[in-house]
Structure 1
């Protein structure tokens, strides 16, 4: 079955209707990575002459140069070229989950038109790098994947809107308050918990940590600019717990009210120089070339109704979680580890103090 992937695309157009070559951003990204226009053109798959043409068109469109070429020093982005590149990175990181969810809905609609009634696994979970892998491995089972917060996911499970719901449980004392909140959502008689992964969360900072940030107490230092996750996210709940444990008031943190909706979007924000530090997973930091300060480990778990475990679609899902292919893919993610992946546990077993 063919599947649709929805990708964001930029369009630079002025009031007169003039439009730029869509290869401009790809070329800027390649210049940033390679430092030479010849190698950048090769990466993009265009000739050196065409690369020059794309850059000249971009320079004329914006009225300033986007790439600085120096003999013997290669090529580097100008401040505007850098801004354009990081704006694209942030847009992709921010819109990615919504577009994945839209693609999931479209693929489900296509499957139903092609095959009629189909067995679908409805998974509601917060966005993460391990969850991103699931559609690639659940090839034989149509997946309706919707990204939302842990409490929204569990609420959807409670009302029957999904089959599997993702939630996070930090290890250590900071997780106790969060653990208590899940007692209200998970019924030991009705629900079961499926093991998935553990992941490391912490602070994302610029390479070589120029401000010498050491932990959450550093977020309140004068001049430090922070970028946050949205209030409903599990990552935000973890950060709030760490701040409370350290006695750091959120009002003392510059930028605490600035929110992004994915780990990648936070990392892109820091990598673009718009903030000095963000909070998220190690995989997000490494994706954007940032240094990472580990602060906490959390279990990412999956909940379902115990009756659903008798259904073939849930069994197929458990088979994928336990497969060598999926588990090997998870182990390539920085800061991620398998944790009883695909094993079914009782609520008491997971939420016991």
Structure 2
């Protein structure tokens, strides 16, 4: 069976026609992670001489150093190196869901022509760390053609209602906010739908390391001087934030940058890490990935929703086996701010909602 992976690739050009291959970005990331050029070179498979020459080529191209070496202190990125690495991280964070969707569509068409696999499940879910891990794990089973598309929470539920997919991602805040959240999608819910439990994740405020602006909670967003970056309209995370603001009697119009939007949790975190915003809202795992401070605001169940008759599909049994696999569960358990919630258990929707509504919101 054919697998397709599409990755963004930066190339730098000058007016005189000179260009620069982006292979040095991997080396910059390794320097950032290790703090030593020798270790960074070894990590990416370069000799020390090749790494040094590559950095020299980049420095000559840009006319500015990318790293700073200090005797006895190792190596660290210079301001230009930090900016280049941030640009690469932001591009990947923003484009990954769209490129993964495109890769999945191309895989499906090619494998249909090749008749290389059995039809699996069409899964529509909002992009997140647990869902990305699930997709990766499912694709290890080459006997099925999994079609995983990243969509906003509301788009996924509507797709399930229209029979455009068999499984939809659903996130429901714990406590009273869950009722408000579900009221928005009530027209597309049906009595025959079943919940497949998955994880509980923590969402909250992402802040620069050390919280330099002294942010304590959502009320601080209205101070005026703080620059905010949000998720896109229709995303479950943005709706959760709006519900929290309403609960606290706060007006989103007072938040500077409320309409600055990114399409993934990682992209929000990258925006804050770059210094282009002071505060973002999203999952803890994204904040930790970019070394940000995090203030938890809410817990929510991220589950999968399906029709009852879909439970009889052979591929559904394969999906449940993955969710109940101890190795997969250990992988999810490593994600900051994520906790397992009896993955793979099937419940009536009303029973799950009643249970989650009685839980503490944080």
The reply to whether TM is greater than 0.5 is: yes
Which range is displaced more, 192-201 or 176-185? 176-185
Of the candidates 291, 300, 303, which is equivalent to residue 302 of structure 2?
Answer: 300
CA-to-aligned-CA distance 1:255-305 (integer Å, 9 cap, x gap):
111111111111111111211211111111111111211110001121111
Is the Cα contact below 8 Å between 2:195 and 2:306 reproduced in 1? Answer: yes
State the superposition RMSD in angstroms: 1.8
Post-superposition offset of 1:116: 5.8
Q: How does 1:235-254 map to 2 (within 5 A)?
A: 235-254=237-256
TM-score (norm: length of structure 1): 0.94
Question: Which residue is 2:131 aligned to?
Answer: 131
Helix, strand or coil for the counterpart of 1:280? strand
Q: How many Å separate the matches in 1 of 2:272 and 2:116? A: 46
TM-score (norm: length of structure 2): 0.92
Q: Does 1:277 align with 2:279?
A: yes
Q: How does 1:77-226 map to 2 (within 5 A)?
A: 77-115=77-115, 118-138=118-138, 139=141, 140-188=143-191, 190-226=192-228
CA-to-aligned-CA distance 1:196-247 (integer Å, 9 cap, x gap):
1110111111222222211111112242221111111000000001111112
Residues 135 and 174 (structure 1), Cα distance of their counterparts in 2 relative to 1, 3 Å cut: closer
Q: How many Å separate the matches in 2 of 1:73 and 1:117? A: 53
Q: How many Å separate the matches in 2 of 1:21 and 1:342? A: 45
Q: How many Å separate the matches in 2 of 1:110 and 1:212? A: 53
Q: Does 1:320 align with 2:310?
A: no
Q: How many Å separate the matches in 1 of 2:137 and 2:36? A: 37
Q: How many Å separate the matches in 2 of 1:232 and 1:110? A: 32
Post-superposition offset of 1:123: 0.2
Helix, strand or coil for the counterpart of 2:185? helix
Q: How many Å separate the matches in 1 of 2:306 and 2:251? A: 37
Post-superposition offset of 1:137: 2.3
Residues 37 and 319 (structure 1), Cα distance of their counterparts in 2 relative to 1, 3 Å cut: closer
Is the Cα contact below 8 Å between 2:117 and 2:144 reproduced in 1? Answer: no
Q: How many Å separate the matches in 1 of 2:41 and 2:348? A: 55
Is the Cα contact below 8 Å between 1:21 and 1:54 reproduced in 2? Answer: no
Which range is displaced more, 263-272 or 54-63? 54-63
Post-superposition offset of 1:55: 1.9
Q: How many Å separate the matches in 2 of 1:75 and 1:318? A: 46
Helix, strand or coil for the counterpart of 1:329? helix
Point out where structure 2 has 5 or more consecutive residues left out of the alignment: 358-362
Post-superposition offset of 1:59: 1.9
Point out where structure 1 has 5 or more consecutive residues left out of the alignment: none
Is the Cα contact below 8 Å between 1:123 and 1:162 reproduced in 2? Answer: yes
Q: How many Å separate the matches in 1 of 2:234 and 2:284? A: 20
Is the Cα contact below 8 Å between 2:200 and 2:301 reproduced in 1? Answer: yes
Helix, strand or coil for the counterpart of 2:295? strand
Post-superposition offset of 1:325: 2.2
Question: Which residue is 2:360 aligned to?
Answer: none
Q: How many Å separate the matches in 2 of 1:114 and 1:153? A: 29
Question: Which residue is 2:258 aligned to?
Answer: 256
Is the Cα contact below 8 Å between 2:205 and 2:297 reproduced in 1? Answer: yes
